[in-house]
Amino acid sequence: MYQFRLSGFADEAGIDADEQMNVLEKNGIHQLELRSIDGKGILELDDAALEALAEKFMRRGFSVSSIGSPIGKSPIEADFSLVRASFEKVLKAAEILKAPYIRGFDFYIPGDSDPLRWADEVVYRVSELVMRAKDRGVAYALENESGIFSSLPERCVYVLDRVPNLVMAFDPGNFIMNDASPWAAWPLLKSRTAYFHIKDATNEPKRFVPAGEGDGGMDKILKDAFESGFDGVLSVEPHLGYRADLNDAQRFTTAANALKRLLNRLFHAGFEELDPMTFCKKGEI
């Protein structure tokens, strides 16, 4: 029997904590990936605000699956001491919120240069971040993202091979945005993948879509992942801005339904879908 650990980027469901939890709860999801609250990013929240959130989440039966941090989403030429200072804030947030993962990146590479020119610096920086996280009992989960060193599968492998304890936050949609096949990337990265960002995309036009509705091969990837022993997190990240006819809660629900539909078809998981029109008006819960 497979266990499915569903989470989601709650700031794509609502603005404040109560709204975010209300939307996720109605979708049957009780974990969240914390990126922003009340329009404030995780780095803008002080310890008192984080402790209040931790209490609020605990009272409602929620846990934080990951800190959706912006660490590593900065130029590789920039002063690393600034990243170190920001990372200390993120580590403190993970401690207060009892988050087992920190989502991070491995730095933007100048567009006019060979990425491999920066490979040693990338490995040096990511190694330090991973070690600091490990010392605090947290895993640094590398997301493949456009513009960063690990935007392509082969460069993800390069970093993973050189940084012990680094894990992968596999994002199929982002690979498609970089003209890479997620299904071809999967055998290269599956042994280090601890976390999925659930968003699909189409090759033409380049657009994020609900899971299973794009060219990501998400049915094949998830089937192989669970049959190979994957027991990590599936974090819904809608990015459905093209659906201007829907509000945030409806877009999140549409994305969550698509994941549930895939899991039900592949594994007879028994998830119940929620009518997105449950959230009738903008901001209504």
- pLDDT band of residue 62 (cuts 50, 70, 90) is very high
**What is the predicted pLDDT for the residue at 198?**
98
**What is the predicted pLDDT for the residue at 1?**
78
Distances (CA, A) of 199 to 36, 87, 147, 177, 220: 19, 26, 18, 11, 14
pLDDT digits (tens, 9 = 90+) for 76-108: 999 999 999 999 999 999 999 999 999 999 999
* Mean pLDDT for all residues in the chain: 97
Strand 233-236 versus strand 101-104 pairing type: unpaired
Is residue 141 within 8 Å of residue 102, measured between CB atoms? Answer: yes
Nearest to 256 by CA among 233, 235, 280, 282: 235
Percent of the chain topping pLDDT 90: 97
What is the pLDDT averaged over residues 211-236? Answer: 98
| Whole-number Å distance between alpha carbons of 269 and 260 | 8
φ, ψ of residue 159 in degrees (nearest 5): -70, -45
| Whole-number Å distance between alpha carbons of 283 and 249 | 8
| Whole-number Å distance between alpha carbons of 41 and 59 | 22
**What is the predicted pLDDT for the residue at 60?**
97
CATH number of the 5-278 domain: 3.20.20.150
**What is the predicted pLDDT for the residue at 233?**
98
| Whole-number Å distance between alpha carbons of 77 and 206 | 29
- pLDDT band of residue 283 (cuts 50, 70, 90) is very low
Is residue 163 within 8 Å of residue 135, measured between CB atoms? Answer: no
pLDDT digits (tens, 9 = 90+) for 143-198: 999 999 999 999 999 999 999 999 999 999 999 999 999 999 999 999 999 999 99
Is residue 142 within 8 Å of residue 167, measured between CB atoms? Answer: yes
φ, ψ of residue 50 in degrees (nearest 5): -65, -40
pLDDT digits (tens, 9 = 90+) for 243-258: 999 999 999 999 999 9
Strand 233-236 versus strand 193-198 pairing type: parallel
Retrieve residue 141's tokens: 């989960």
The amino acid at residue 169 is A
| Whole-number Å distance between alpha carbons of 170 and 83 | 23
Nearest to 30 by CA among 59, 7, 50: 7
Q: How many CA within 13 A on the CB side of residue 187?
A: 1
Flag whether the pTM goes above 0.75.
Answer: yes
The amino acid at residue 145 is E
| Whole-number Å distance between alpha carbons of 236 and 212 | 13
pLDDT digits (tens, 9 = 90+) for 111-135: 999 999 999 999 999 999 999 999 9
| Whole-number Å distance between alpha carbons of 80 and 86 | 10
